[in-house]
């Protein structure tokens, strides 16, 4: 007979209630991470995040929440940066392998499915733990402008707009109230930044917030400058 503590420590055993406690702990960790948001519009995809360093002595260039996976794909992370670094590197390898084999950019759902398979594998073997990170992956492929989100269980879902991390419910409320299917890229950028700013503590400035866009016209990842972000915040 297993005790409640045995279910708590063992990642491969479901509790009598049908729960995997280690996965739930990882999900709670993600909810404490810096807020991130993604918005898809007909004109392109926007990823936004709060990249304010945890200490004023920290170099902000090494505190990133938004990463480029391929020319047409980017990702924002919430949770453990060390865990995210592993998934980001794997995502880049998946993108480059697809280009080498098929001579074309990878579709976003194929990419996110492969990343999800890796995440899920770490929920079913003894001696490992789940990845303590969620990702919003966005880009432009042959289907169009798309946003997907993963969580520590390995599942993924497609969204028009979504937010993850600290005070994610408040950020998602902003997205629900402000999203329109016909919005242009400028409006999508403003909405994503507004959602992240709402979920952030204090009054973050353009030095704290970061955003990247993948326009449908170019299908090329680009980071916004601090001056551009300041204009949208005004």
pLDDT tens digits for range 188-212: 999 999 999 999 987 788 888 999 9
Give a yes or no: residue 167 inside a domain.
yes
Give the relative orientation of helices 226-233 and 185-199 as an angle to the nearest 10 degrees: 80
- Write the CATH number for 165: 3.60.20.10
Number of separate domains in the chain = 1
In a domain, 209, yes or no: yes
Average pLDDT over residues 154-174: 96
10 occurs within a structural domain: no
- What's the chain's average pLDDT? 91
Note whether residue 90 is domain-resident: yes
Give me the pLDDT at residue 9, please: 66
Q: Which distant-in-sequence residues (6+ apart) come within 8 Å of 46 by Cβ?
A: 37, 38, 39, 40, 138, 185, 188, 189, 191, 192, 211, 212, 213
Is 11 among the domain residues?
no
**Residue 49, Cβ density class (10 Å: 0-12 exposed, 13-18 middle, ≥19 buried):** buried
- The answer to whether residue 4 is domain-embedded is no
Cβ-proximal residues to 120 (8 Å cutoff; 6+ apart), any chain: 153, 154, 155
Domain presence at residue 190:
yes
Residue predicted with more confidence, 163 or 51: 163
**Bridge partners (DSSP) listed for residue 161:** 39
Token representation of residue 82? 């060390």
Max Cα-Cα span within the chain:
62
Domain that includes residue 69, residue range:
19-55+63-233
DSSP run (H or E) holding 9: helix 4-9
Q: List, for residues 2-53, the tens digit of each pLDDT value.
A: 566 666 666 677 777 777 888 888 999 999 999 999 999 999 999 999 988 7
Residue 1 maps to a domain = no
């Amino acid at each position: 007979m297993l005790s409640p503590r045995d279910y708590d420590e063992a990642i491969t055993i479901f509790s009598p209630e049908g729960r995997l406690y280690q996965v739930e702990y990882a999900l709670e960790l993600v909810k404490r991470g810096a807020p991130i948001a993604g918005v898809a519009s007909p004109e392109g995809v926007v990823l936004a995040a709060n990249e304010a360093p945890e200490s004023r002595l920290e170099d902000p260039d090494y505190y990133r929440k938004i990463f480029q996976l391929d020319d047409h794909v980017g990702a924002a992370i919430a949770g453990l940066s060390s865990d995210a670094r592993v998934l980001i590197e794997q995502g880049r390898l998946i993108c480059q392998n697809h280009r080498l084999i098929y001579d074309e950019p990878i579709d976003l759902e194929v990419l996110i499915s492969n990343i999800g398979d890796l995440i899920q594998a770490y929920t079913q073997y003894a001696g490992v733990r789940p990845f303590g990170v969620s990702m919003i992956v966005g880009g432009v492929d042959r289907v169009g402008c798309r946003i997907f989100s993963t969580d520590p269980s390995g599942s993924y879902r497609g969204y028009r707009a979504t937010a993850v991390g600290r005070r994610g419910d408040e950020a998602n409320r902003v997205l629900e109230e402000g999203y329109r299917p016909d919005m242009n890229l400028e409006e999508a950028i403003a909405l994503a930044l507004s959602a992240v700013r709402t979920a952030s503590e204090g009054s973050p400035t353009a030095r704290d917030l970061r955003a990247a866009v993948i326009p449908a016209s170019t299908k090329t990842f680009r980071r916004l400058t601090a001056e551009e972000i300041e204009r949208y915040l005004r």
